[in-house]
Chain A
Amino acid sequence: MSELTALTLKAALDGLKAKSFSAVEITQAHIAAVEAARPLNAFVLETPDKALDMAAASDARIARGEAGRLEGAPLGIKDLFCTEGVRSTAGSKILGNFIPPYESTVTANLFGQGAVMLGKLNMDEFAMGSSNETSAWGPVINPWKSASGGNSALTPGGSSGGSAAAVAADICLGATATDTGGSIRQPAAFTGTVGIKPTYGRCSRWGVVAFASSLDQAGPIAKTVEDAAILLTTMASHDPKDSTSLPVETPDFAPFVGKSVKGLRVGVPKEYRVDGMPAEIEKLWQDGVDWLKAAGCEIVEVSLPHTKYALPAYYIVAPAEASSNLARYDGMRYGLRAEGKNLNEVYETTRAEGFGDEVKRRILIGTYVLSAGYYDAYYLKAQKVRRRIADDFDQAWRTCDVLLTPTAPSAAFALGERMADPIAMYLNDVFTVTTNLAGLPSISVPAGLDAGGLPLGLQVIGRALDEGTVFSVAGALEKAAAFRGKAQRWW
């Protein structure tokens, strides 16, 4: 592939600024890479004409000395973000050929700073999944292959599998993603990329198709920690159109990467040492501890006693909110409409044909736990447990500044391997879901390879709105791990 696609976002922005190449040139290189990478199924819609128009406009602004922060940088956009005039499906059949007449705040922020859109990225249907296999467009294939797994196709993780695969395969400089229970960080870990879920409320949810509104957060997937910091700086903003958007200034996160972490207290939660954790993940975690110790951090053992209850609480709260949010898909105002003898039959048939199995399962669970007679036993109980989980973190912050954990309990697994057992699939998110419940920022950094040569990630969790420290610690891990792995190109 062309050298322009191998650049980091930072290097590309520097090159564009220095006029070493034009926005149109780097966009053309990426369009060619996207076409060549179709076997990955990472894009559900390619928008090369729009990309070239945006790039030409970028070149004009660069020539006039009016370049934005991301001027001319070709990015991929997860299909959960509504993009004005460009089909947005959230990975579902029920949205049909939905063409939003508006732009999500996050994408508007990116495009307002000159970013170029290459197209829309594949994802699990309505972001419900951990392997990309629930997408109505078929699964994304991980660019990585395991040396010990024959030639079998691996999952890139989910739900932001398209975003992670596209960044790992060098077909975009960075991508937008979203995370409700781990959907940015687990795919990042499975593909050797960096992904951060910021504090709940940092990024506006306006124009992002809703899954579970009290948990959903947007964030970037990128090639490096610095690239992730650059992207988040532009994605985040206070937005009056999202009532849970935090009325705070967004700092420039990039200068935090490379800052000394000397004297920071790093908590290691003992409850994350789960049964059956592969030895190589335990080893990687220890490596992370050693690296941060060598960088001058103080290591503290902490306890988050309610960790094991996070996933079951999540599988009440998230489906409950989803069943309510997805009630809007009734076939009347947009999207798919099936035939029926009367109104009720139209509703029921539309939703039966439009939603996939996992989405239906979650809507049914959500409807059940919210229904009369069960609300207190399930939904109210889960919200109380959620409070306990958040309180655990508050306790931990008395003795430490960040937490260090593995991102996922395994490396990428084969497509098809876990589809038959929903709970085995849900367990992918055991280390990530806690911070969605508590609203805390957390990042996954590629830190090593398993025996088969697949990437593994470490997670850094910070205090609310303390993404700066999270980026500093992630930068220190990235530097110490010196992760240079790239998927061998087979597509």
Chain B
Amino acid sequence: MAIDAELVRKVAQLAHIAEPEERLAPLAAELNGIIAWIEQLAEVDTDGVEPMTSAVAATLPLREDVVTDGGDSARVLANAPKTVDGFFVVPKVVE
């Protein structure tokens, strides 16, 4: 299916990226070019093929369910754009 400006607007919203109105059509053209090139995958017979989710055949290990770190809010907050009294400050979420 071809990507149009409206679909780009929707995808950009899902991705939380502000795209100005005038960028929607050029982006649609760019993405269509890439998706059309990707469509050649349809030629590959993948009936009965198990999707590959990991590059190596390893089972994910489980670690002990114990506290290994913590109590270090100064380091956690060190790179925050805004903090008050040991908390992250974020824009108001609920009006």
Which A residues fall within an 8 A CB radius of B?
A: 97-99, 101, 199-201, 214-215, 240, 243-244, 246-247, 306, 308-309, 312-313, 315-316, 323, 327, 330-337, 340, 342-349, 351-352, 355, 360-361, 363-365, 367-368, 371, 378, 380-388, 390, 422-423, 436-439, 464
A334 to B79, CA, bound (A): 5
**Chain B: minimal CB distance from A413 (Å):** 20
Tell me if A384 and B14 are in contact (CB < 8 A). Answer: no
Which B residues are in CB contact (< 8 Å) with A390?
52
**Mask: chain B, 70-95; 1 = CB below 8 Å from A; 0 = not:** 00000110111110000010111100
Which B residues are in CB contact (< 8 Å) with A464?
56
Which residue of A335, A348, A364, A380 contacts B79 across the interface (Cβ within 8 Å)?
Answer: A335
Tell me if A243 and B33 are in contact (CB < 8 A). Answer: no
Tell me if B46 and A244 are in contact (CB < 8 A). Answer: no
The dominant DSSP class at the B interface is: loop
Q: State how many residues of chain B have any CB contact under 8 Å with chain A.
A: 51
8 tightest CB-CB pairs across the interface, nearest first?
Answer: A439-B55, A383-B51, A334-B79, A384-B46, A200-B55, A348-B18, A337-B81, A352-B18
**Chain B: minimal CB distance from A91 (Å):** 17
**Chain A: minimal CB distance from B65 (Å):** 14
Tell me if B44 and A309 are in contact (CB < 8 A). Answer: yes
Which residue of B14, B51, B56, B61 contacts A367 across the interface (Cβ within 8 Å)?
Answer: B14
A338 to B27, CA, bound (A): 23
Tell me if B38 and A312 are in contact (CB < 8 A). Answer: yes
A240 to B63, CA, bound (A): 8
- Tell me the chain B residues, 34-60 only, with Cβ under 8 Å from chain A: 34-35, 37-44, 46, 49-56, 58, 60
**Mask: chain B, 1-29; 1 = CB below 8 Å from A; 0 = not:** 00100011001111111110000000100
Which A residues are in CB contact (< 8 Å) with B43?
309
**Chain A: minimal CB distance from B73 (Å):** 11
Known A-B contacts A343-B91, A351-B17; the reply to A365 vs B81 at CB < 8 A is: no
Known A-B contacts A309-B44, A371-B11; the reply to A388 vs B18 at CB < 8 A is: no
Known A-B contacts A337-B82, A364-B31; the reply to A382 vs B15 at CB < 8 A is: no
Closest Cβ neighbor of A367 among chain B residues: B15
A351 to B61, CA, bound (A): 34
A244 to B13, CA, bound (A): 32
A240 to B43, CA, bound (A): 40
Which residue of B12, B16, B52, B93 contacts A386 across the interface (Cβ within 8 Å)?
Answer: B52
Known A-B contacts A385-B46, A387-B52; the reply to A340 vs B40 at CB < 8 A is: no
Tell me if A246 and B56 are in contact (CB < 8 A). Answer: yes
Known A-B contacts A342-B92, A422-B30; the reply to A378 vs B56 at CB < 8 A is: no
A464 to B58, CA, bound (A): 12
Tell me if A309 and B15 are in contact (CB < 8 A). Answer: no
Which residue of B3, B27, B34 contacts A315 across the interface (Cβ within 8 Å)?
Answer: B34
**Chain B: minimal CB distance from A359 (Å):** 10
